[in-house]
Every structure is written in structure tokens, then in C-alpha cells.
Homo-oligomer: A and B are copies of this chain.
Amino acid sequence: MKLTHIRTFQLSALFFLFPTVVYADPLPSWNEGNNKEKIISFVESVSTFGSDEYVPENKRIAVFDNDGTLWGEQPLYFQIIFAMNRASQMPPEMLETDAQRAAAQGDSEGMLKGGQESLQEVFDLTHSGQTVGAFSEAVSDWLENSRHPETNLRYDDMIYQPMLELLSYLRDNEFETYIVSAGGLHFMRTFASKAYGIDPQNVIGSTTNTEVSDENGDLVISKTPGIGWYNDGNSKIIAIDRHIGQRPIIAGGNSDGDVPMMIWTTQGDGPRLGIMIHHTDSEREASYDRDSAIGGLDQGLKEAADREWALVDMANDWRVIYPSSDSQ
């Protein structure tokens, strides 16, 4: 045995016996600054046994919006792009309304002209009349074969690297992480596990109606027309109560539809953290807030200041946006 080998062995042994106390940066894609510091100091204090702010593991619940918080949402919610793609593949005789025909032609303005009601016609066409299993496969196929018009990335690669790191960091500290989104429950579940490490039972979203039928002896769940649950605004609080049954200690969002959930979360006793993502990066992603039809953020900017939430400035706080842009 040469001396160098012995040395290596000794160093490894020492490393094993005395693990280093300088930990790796848990959020390498976050630039140094107040927000990164606020998040890390919060997580450390609630996770450190004996700390005044210690929170037992089973109370470490963190909830996050999806569209605009964990992945992109411009120029249209990705699920709406999916719906339009699906409509375009349907036989013309199935397109019964103006909104459905506009969707099939890729005319988003025409599709949205009639507001929520016309959008619902498009969802009824593209999100119902099929089993949950068949719908999930259709979403997976679409994710596999579609690219975003501006980035040319897969939609499920347009997830935010800094938020992936935050989710992992929280789980490493025994947090349970949930999605609480206005996005579709069955839509999000097709990628949430792989993209975010969030299992199906931790996804809370909007749903179509569903029904159970007996297909030659097999019980099958199908998606049927109409909204079973629309998960936005105050409804996010009700859904958290129904599904989780305890008030989270961290809530993250990016638009006014997330504000009630974030107020309710941060009003609880003990340590609480609100994280509001502000889209400020027109170069690397998109810049919008008060006047945006998608992801409008107005009240949330005021609340973030008043309630001392971390107001994340994407342009300044994030070193990278997407996992694939890590070298940019």
C-alpha cells in the first residue's frame, strides 16, 4: 500500500467520523439576498429541535400554487393550450359552439370572448367524456409531443429550477409539500410526481365532475361535463381544510387567486412564511403583474409588503429559471 492510499483512507475515515459543519447551499439557484436568507432562516428555525420557533414534523406543511409559481403560465395557462390542441384533433362535427371552433383553430381570443362560460364549453369538450385513465394518457402524450411556442421546451421542462430546489429543501427538512392550484387535478397529476417529486395524494386542484360506471363488471371512473370543484381564491382555503385538515406553515403563490390561502396560512399562530413570486424577468421569462389577464397580481403586491412575505423578484433573486438553463 502506497502512502498516498493510506492518506486517502485516513481522510475518508476522518470525513466519516467528523462530518463537515459547512453544509452545501440548499438553494444554489437563488442569488444571495433577503429572500434567500428569509427562506433559509425560516426553515432552519422551524426544523431545529430546541429552537423557539421549532415546529414538529407533522405540522410542517407547505402549499404551493402551480401555474406561475412552479412552472410557467404565459402566453396562456398550459392546460388551455392542451385543451386547444385537443380540440384541434377532434372531428369537426364534435365542435358545436363558437368557442369550441375557435379553440380548434388555435384562436385563443375568439375562444375566450365569451368569458368563463365559453372556456367551460372547451373544457367540457376536451376534458370530459373519457375515463380518468384515458385522459391522463392524453395529457402525457401531449407533454411528450408538444413544445412551448417561445422557448421550444417541453411544457414540463418549463418548471422553475429555484422552486424545485425549494421543494427538495423543504422535504429534506421533513416538510410535506402540496400543490394547491386552480389547475386541473388530473392534468397536474400526470407530471407532478416526476417533475416536482409531489405524489398524487398531495395534489389539490380543480376538477371536472366525475362518475363511476360499471363496464362489464369493471368499475371505472370517468370525467363528465361541468365543474366539480373550482380551486381558486377562498376555495383554496376550503380545499386545504378538506384535504389536509391543518393550516400550512408555508404558502407560496404568484397571483391574486393565491392571496386568501397565503393570508390564511400566515395568520396562523407561530412561525409562518408567505412566498410571493413576482414575474419581473422579461428577458429570461416574462414580466407582468397588475394588468395581466393571466396571473394578475395586484392585491398580492400590497399584502406581501404589509404582511412581510418574501416577495421574490425573479430577475434579481433567481440565478436561473429552468433546469435546462442552468448554464445560461
Show the binding face of A for B, using Cβ within 8 Å: 58, 132, 176, 185, 189, 199-201, 203, 207, 210-212, 218-219, 221, 228, 234, 237-238, 241-246, 260, 263-264, 267
Contact = CB atoms under 8 A, between A and B. Distances in A.
Interface centre among A200, A228, A260, by most B CB within 10 Å? Answer: A200
A238 B210 contact: yes
A229 B104 CA distance: 35
Contacts of A245: 185, 189, 199-201, 203
Nearest to A209: B238
Nearest to A200: B245
Given A207-B242, A219-B237, A243-B243, 20 more contacts: A58-B199, A189-B245, A200-B245, A201-B244, A201-B245, A201-B246, A203-B245, A210-B238, A210-B242, A211-B234, A211-B238, A212-B234, A212-B237, A212-B238, A212-B264, A219-B234, A219-B260, A219-B263, A219-B264, A228-B242
A219 B132 CA distance: 34
Contacts of A242: 185, 207, 210, 228
Nearest to A213: B234
Nearest to A136: B245
Contacts of A234: 211-212, 219
A66 to B, nearest CB: 15
